[in-house]
Amino acid sequence: MKSLTASLILWATLAASSALGQHLHFENIEWRERLTDHFALRSKSTNHDPARKYAEKIWDECVRVMPGLTDDFEKNEFRTPGGSKGADEAPYRFTVYLVGTGDLYTQVLMKQKERSGWDDTRMRMCRITRNYADPRNRYYVLCKADPENTGGGGERDLTPAFVHGTAATILEGRGLTGNMPFFFTAGWGYFVEHRIFRLCRVHYLDFEKYYKDNDAKIQRGAVLDHQESWTTPLKKMCKKGERINLDTVCNAEVLTLTPNKSGYMFALTYFLVSTDERITKYRKLLAQAREGASITKELILETYGYADDAALEKDWYEFMESRDFR
């Protein structure tokens, strides 16, 4: 496995055209570009962190489960949901845009709105989260500054969002879709976070506020947070019978999410790729998605050879209570 340092091969300034066949998604904006083996990192008014440090680590985790990514990238076989190429010539690189000022982020978002037809709600969410993925799975944008400041300032660490979001976007790209279910993409994002950090720090809701509003007893090792691995509290919950079933996880939505549902989305993905045999079936799921199938609970049961929910849940919960879930 190549080190990240060894994979950095070019650092240049982009003007109207892109380097080595990589598409320039935001014309008339000059970016400083740094290429790794599989990523084009483009920054303006900031540096290339955290992408510089973690991009190839994300790749390593993704390609381990999805080896078809190698041809997608190295032979430029990547296609958008509409069938367009990812780059003009091989190799294709996933592009990350790192934005250092609020006014530049506004400019980027307006160009995205014109291209994708986003409504005001979607635009507002992108400003709140400071990041978004291209619907055609070609790139990821992070605003490191406070989007409400016209200049810089208000920077915060977006490393977790970068790792989680980039992994999820690459998964969708491999599935040739921009519409995978939330539990599937978020679960994969959490799994890659865990593999790299042994932590899951992207929360789609305020966990502390949720626990406070629901009078939950905050005890280290008993609830999910961003400071320790989720496997320990999830293992305890599962052993105590505090379980969330397969149907609930597969129908999870952001607006009705809870910390425990978040944890069980992560745990389900971990289970689905926990052995070589299961990874093979996970690849089959993605192959079916590439043929137009929707990833549903029913498709998971069929692909993994389970007669019903209870049969999968039996193996899933046993895995969560085992030493392999760590």
pLDDT tens digits along 63-80 = 999 999 999 999 999 999
pLDDT at position 8 is: 30
Tell me, what's the pLDDT at 193? 98
| Lowest mean pLDDT, pick from 45-59, 138-152, 252-266, 284-298 | 138-152
Alpha-helix runs per DSSP H in 8-82: 51-65, 69-74
User: Is it the case that residue 219 has pLDDT exceeding 70?
Assistant: no
> Above 80 in pLDDT, residue 135?
yes
Q: What pLDDT score does 4 carry?
A: 33
Q: Is the pLDDT of residue 173 over 50?
A: yes
Residue 259: burial class (beta carbons within 10 Å; 0-12, 13-18, 19+): buried
pLDDT at 221: 61
Q: What three-state secondary structure class fits 84?
A: coil
Q: Indicate if the pLDDT at residue 248 is higher than 80.
A: yes
Buried b (16+ CB within 10 A) or exposed e, 126-165: bbebbbbbbbbbbbbbbbbbbbeeeebeeeeebbbbbbbb
| Model confidence pLDDT, tens digit, residues 99-111 | 999 999 999 999 9
Confidence of residue 138 (pLDDT cuts 50, 70, 90): very high
At residue 291, the pLDDT reads: 94
pLDDT at 21: 62
HSE-up (13 A, CA, CB side) for residue 160 = 17
How crowded is residue 324: how many other Cβ atoms within 10 Å of its Cβ?
13
Per cent of the chain over pLDDT 70 is 92
Reported confidence tier of residue 179, pLDDT bands at 50, 70, 90: confident
Per-residue pLDDT at 155: 82
Task: Please say whether the beta carbons of 282 and 270 come within 8 A.
Answer: no
In degrees and rounded to multiples of 5, residue 234 shows phi and psi of -65, -40
**What percentage of the chain carries pLDDT values higher than 90?**
81
Instruction: Tell me the C-alpha distance between 111 and 109, whole Å.
Output: 5
Q: What is the pTM of this model?
A: 0.91
Q: Are strands 39-44 and 31-35 parallel, antiparallel or unpaired?
A: antiparallel
Q: Name the residue ranges covered by the structural domains of the chain.
A: 4-178, 194-320
Give the pLDDT band of residue 2 (cuts 50, 70, 90).
very low
Q: Evaluate if residue 264 carries a pLDDT over 50.
A: yes
Split at pLDDT 50, 70, 90, the class of 217 is: low
Give the model's confidence band at 215: pLDDT under 50 very low, under 70 low, under 90 confident, else very high.
confident
pLDDT value, residue 54: 98
Q: Quick one: residue 117, left, alpha or beta (phi over 0 = left, psi -120 to 50 = alpha)?
A: left
CB-based contacts of 30: which residues, under 8 Å, 6+ apart?
13, 14, 15, 44
Instruction: State mean pLDDT over 91-101.
Output: 96
Task: Report pLDDT digits (tens) over 8-63.
Answer: 333 334 433 344 467 889 988 999 999 999 999 999 999 999 999 999 999 999 99
SS3 of residue 88 by DSSP: coil
